[in-house]
Structure 1
Amino acid sequence: MLSTLEILPDEILMMIFTYSGDVTTTLRAFLGLNQRFNRILLDKRLHLLTDFLQTNIRDEYYKCDVFQQVTQRLLTINKPMEKEHLYQLLQPLLSLYSQHKYLQSQLEFEYEYHKFLSVRQRLNDDRKTTIDLELETEFNKLRNGVNIVTETYVERIRSLVLNEGAKLVCENHELTGFNLCQAINNLLLQFIYDKSKEQSALAKLCLKLFKILLISNPLNMKNRDYVGNGGCDASYFFIYEIFHLQHFYHSRVSTPSVNMNIYRAVVDLFLFAMQCQKQTFQDANHIKRIMFNMLNMVEQTHKNMFIQATQWGVVQIIADEYFLFEHDTSDDYYCSYSIRGVLKNLMKHSRIDILRYICRHSTFQDDISSPDNIRETVNILTSNRSHRRLFCEILNDESFAFLRSNKTLIFILLDKKERQIVEKLVNLSKNVLNQLDADGNDPLLHVCLKVAGCRHRIIEYLLKMGSNTERRNLEGRNFTDALQLSRNEKLLKHLIEHEIILPRSTSIG
């Protein structure tokens, strides 16, 4: 027998669904009850999924493969869902949203910047000086705080830049005067916890204002603000807020609850600023600094689905931009040093997902597994019990096959007597038993000749896995010769006592 709801026409049900709460509440309440409800909930006329993304640009999303795939999965739901399951299904949409916003930023910047350049190119030098000074005067009014930011003020700035061709020139140094980075910090970033409607409205005005000012001079992305021991450019403060969910100059709160309208504005402005840089000044080292700053600020996966997906989207965008210039960056020492910090941070917060993504690229593979870094990498991955568990996951993952095949990894693990990880590595690839160190020692000989302390269990395992006891190193020693050395007297005794080898002959037991 049909329920009261089920006898209603589609149009009435759409009205009911529209007034049933936010998108996730509505989907959790009605999705999966029956196929008709599923079809109505995902009908394009209802726009639930695009409302979920808080965008009015709908047609482009409806055409996307990801959007259609998510829709098809949701249509097949046949029972009510837990929030976590729903979020898991919707997550690809949020990742798509970040990528789409980045593309929108490119189109927006290219259009407005071309318009600005066409106006400015028609100005003579005297007019440029006059109009630039006027824009500088208006900009300096922002020192007085947010009260100056009104619709009238923003429209005045817009007119100066896009109609009259004014260019804002600021000092990049943090101590020389007021600049765009300081203005962004003071007028937008510091209000991330303010949930008032007034502040949300102001964030939209600030977003529009700072986009216009960046169009007038994209190089202002290099403006710096004070950080206690020097200065950092605007991108550093954007990244700090996007991943730490707080303003750099404010104390950290234990349970941050951010104004999502402001958070969205911050992300939008950051993506726009990245496009400003990409389209006007190709600075590989600047992208590198942004990349490493970001990876050092990444924390554990956030519970808020939008924040979680946004952070992941930003990671993908910045990583992809960085790897476009991976062969153009300089300062290899800085890169190697930064890789170690990144690895420590990602392991600390169990972000194998991000590590997997960045390790698709040869630059990170080479840095993590280079002769200079591989031992430090292993030290980080074996620094505590949880890291060791993650290390085993990494060895299992094909994304990290480059690490598994590193010729020195087995010897470093043997030096540290990480028996369980050695066993994991050998079980995954028995070829490591044939790798040789600088003196021609295979793993079995390496343990006998270069590893101190209790080693008999490791040797027992290596013998069990088929190590060649007759192989000789560069000095002509094999396994039997190594056991006859005076420094291995105790080792030999343990091997015999535990019946790993036979007495006298030192042959395999």
Structure 2
Amino acid sequence: MSSTFEALPDEILMIIFQYCGGVYNIFRTFSGLNKRLNSILVDRRLHLFTDFLCMHHSNTNLDYYYNSALFHDVSQQLLSLTKTENDKKLRQCFQSLVFFHIKAHANQLKHEFQSNIKHFQSTRLLLTNEETQYVDEELKNSLNKLKICPKSVKNIEKIISLVLKQGARLQYDDNESHEFNLTKSINELLLSKLNSIEYCTRQLINALVQMFKSLIISNPSFLKDHDWFYYDSYGIHFFLCYSIYHINNIHSHKIITSINMQCYQAALDLLLFTIQCLTHSLNDEIWAKIYLLDILNMLNFTNVVTNHEIFIEASQIGILNIVLNEYSFEDKILLDEDFNDTFQRILDNLIENNRIQILLCIYHTNERIRNLFQKSWNNQKYVNIMTKNRTTRQFFHALLNDYLLRTWLISTDLLFILLQKRECKLVKKLLKLSPSLVHQCDNDGNDPLLYVCLNVSGCRQSIVEFLIKMGCDLQRRNSMNQNLIDALRLEKNRKLLRRLIEQKMIQIDDVSNEITTTLFSRLQ
């Protein structure tokens, strides 16, 4: 018999869901209970997907999102979700929505920048000298008013109109004391509100973002503006990255208790916009290197504790992926000592803090970054880190599940390091994923079975039996002309030899002195 709750019309249930907390918590609570509730949750009329992405219902891109293959695929996965499935699948679905959103928004901003810069330049070319002086002076006066009335949406919209519709341009002065500083203005008017309890309307935040974009379009030189942080000055990219990756106002030392997601979205918007601007305006990759180093240095290795943690963490990965793809990693850049040192340190931190998604994002970027990744990798050190406890072991298993990374790892000495540490479960997983590894040899010509018998101490019966079942060559000889029977007859292996014979794992021919086994089938 259905409950009173389930008897309610779809429209009433949609209203109830809207008062049940954040989008992710709504799905955690109600998804998988039955097919009808699953269907209501993914219903476009409820707008849960776009609410999760902090998109307003009036956004003109909603149709593009809902008609996309990604949205359709996520909807189908969530429709078939059952309550017995764990949280992992749900998180993956919502992370994929964010990755799609960041990529789509970056493409949208690319077209927005190209369209606006073209329109601005053509408009300004049509101005007479008198008209140019007039609109430029008007823009200067409006920016001065902004210092007095920073919340005047009317004045902000006037600034936008002066630039985009009338071709006004504020001259840039390399002197640090010039009247208008874009980076300082973004810090004071927008980023300072990231963790503030001060209420900011969506209209004001959107107007500020459009104003900053228009000023960049009118004069990209403003991207060179700096503001102070402690004893050094930094550019706009630093403060935007800091807000996105540290999720904090640069001048705040308070523990994060709340996040203004509209401000966070605005920071994402501006960072993506500056990337498009620099990609269009500059032919070199220095800007991409600066952005990448800033992001790598700012990666927050502690989990974000907030209702928006999935969106924030996925956004951080999405931004990193975009910058990595903008950066082709020329040889001269890869040889940069500072870059290599930073990359090595970041790789260490990613392993130590179990940041699997960021690590895989970096590795999957392109061949050049993979070469740097492989050059910086230290199997012995990282295996020690990844076998410390249950959590790090789960991280290790996740690495091995990635086909591209595993394909490279099996070409290294990873298997022999795991054998040396007697990591039986990890060895079994690796060999089941890549059975051909049973024929891999170390520098002395030992295959895994010979290696265990000659170089590994302690209880090894289980792993030796497994290697035999996996099809290791029982007659192989190493570079010292030792084979398995030679190894098993060593004093330290007498007990192991006796047990293998008792368990009928092996038989020794007294005449030929060869070892055979009756086990021909490998583990499935």
Tell me: CA distance 1:71–1:461, structure 2 relative to 1, closer, same or farther (3 Å): closer
Q: 1:168: how far off?
A: 4.9
Letter in 2 for 1:405: I
Listed as ranges, the matches of 1:48-447 within 5 Å are 50=50, 53-56=55-58, 57=60, 58-71=62-75, 92-121=96-125, 147-162=149-164, 163-169=166-172, 171=174, 179-198=181-200, 202-228=204-230, 230-253=232-255, 255-295=256-296, 296-299=298-301, 302=304, 304=306, 306-328=308-330, 330-332=333-335, 333-361=337-365, 362-370=367-375, 372-375=376-379, 378=382, 381-382=385-386, 384-385=388-389, 386-413=391-418, 421-422=426-427, 424-437=429-442
Q: 1:41, 1:252 → 2: CA distance?
A: 37
Q: 2:48, 2:209 → 1: CA distance?
A: 26
Q: 1:113: how far off?
A: 1.2
Q: 1:166: how far off?
A: 0.9
Tell me: CA distance 1:100–1:345, structure 2 relative to 1, closer, same or farther (3 Å): same
Q: 2:190, 2:425 → 1: CA distance?
A: 51
Contact 2:386 2:393 in 1 (8 A): yes
Letter in 2 for 1:264: Q
Contact 1:131 1:160 in 2 (8 A): yes
Moved more, 264-273 or 375-384: 375-384
The secondary structure found in structure 2 opposite 1:196 is coil
Q: What 5-or-longer segments of structure 1 have no aligned partner?
A: 485-490
Q: 2:434, 2:32 → 1: CA distance?
A: 46
The secondary structure found in structure 1 opposite 2:342 is helix
- Is 1:471 the counterpart of 2:473? The answer is no
Contact 1:448 1:483 in 2 (8 A): yes
Residue in structure 2 matched with residue 488 of structure 1 by the alignment = none
Letter in 1 for 2:185: A
Letter in 2 for 1:278: T
How high is the TM-score relative to the length of structure 1? 0.73
Q: 2:90, 2:291 → 1: CA distance?
A: 33
Q: 2:496, 2:394 → 1: CA distance?
A: 29
Letter in 2 for 1:345: N
Identity among equivalent positions (%) equals 27
Letter in 1 for 2:219: N
Measured against aligned partners, the alpha-carbon deviations of 1:140-168 in whole angstroms (never above 9, x if no partner) come to: 776x58x4352243234334433234145
Contact 2:418 2:427 in 1 (8 A): yes
Tell me: CA distance 1:179–1:78, structure 2 relative to 1, closer, same or farther (3 Å): same
Give the alignment partner of residue 495 of structure 1, picking from 479, 493, 501: 493
Q: 2:16, 2:476 → 1: CA distance?
A: 79
Contact 2:329 2:369 in 1 (8 A): no
Q: 2:44, 2:125 → 1: CA distance?
A: 45
Tell me: CA distance 1:498–1:275, structure 2 relative to 1, closer, same or farther (3 Å): same
Q: What 5-or-longer segments of structure 2 have no aligned partner?
A: 502-509, 517-524
Tell me: CA distance 1:427–1:23, structure 2 relative to 1, closer, same or farther (3 Å): closer
Letter in 1 for 2:478: R
Q: 1:189, 1:230 → 2: CA distance?
A: 18
How high is the TM-score relative to the length of structure 2? 0.72
Q: 1:481, 1:30 → 2: CA distance?
A: 61
Tell me: CA distance 1:412–1:37, structure 2 relative to 1, closer, same or farther (3 Å): closer
Measured against aligned partners, the alpha-carbon deviations of 1:194-229 in whole angstroms (never above 9, x if no partner) come to: 233346654333212211122123354354444446
Residue in structure 2 matched with residue 487 of structure 1 by the alignment = none
Q: 1:239: how far off?
A: 2.3
Measured against aligned partners, the alpha-carbon deviations of 1:84-105 in whole angstroms (never above 9, x if no partner) come to: 9877765554444333332332
The secondary structure found in structure 2 opposite 1:251 is coil
Q: 1:305: how far off?
A: 5.8
Letter in 2 for 1:357: C
**RMSD, aligned α-carbons:** 5.1
Contact 1:66 1:93 in 2 (8 A): yes
Tell me: CA distance 1:356–1:87, structure 2 relative to 1, closer, same or farther (3 Å): closer
Contact 1:435 1:442 in 2 (8 A): yes
Contact 1:23 1:48 in 2 (8 A): no
Q: 2:144, 2:195 → 1: CA distance?
A: 26
The secondary structure found in structure 2 opposite 1:148 is coil
The secondary structure found in structure 2 opposite 1:277 is helix
The number of aligned residues is 488
Q: 1:401: how far off?
A: 2.0
Measured against aligned partners, the alpha-carbon deviations of 1:24-58 in whole angstroms (never above 9, x if no partner) come to: 68977998999888878766566565456324123
Q: 1:88, 1:23 → 2: CA distance?
A: 21
Q: 1:496: how far off?
A: 3.3
Tell me: CA distance 1:348–1:326, structure 2 relative to 1, closer, same or farther (3 Å): same
Measured against aligned partners, the alpha-carbon deviations of 1:111-166 in whole angstroms (never above 9, x if no partner) come to: 21112222344569999799778866765776x58x43522432343344332341
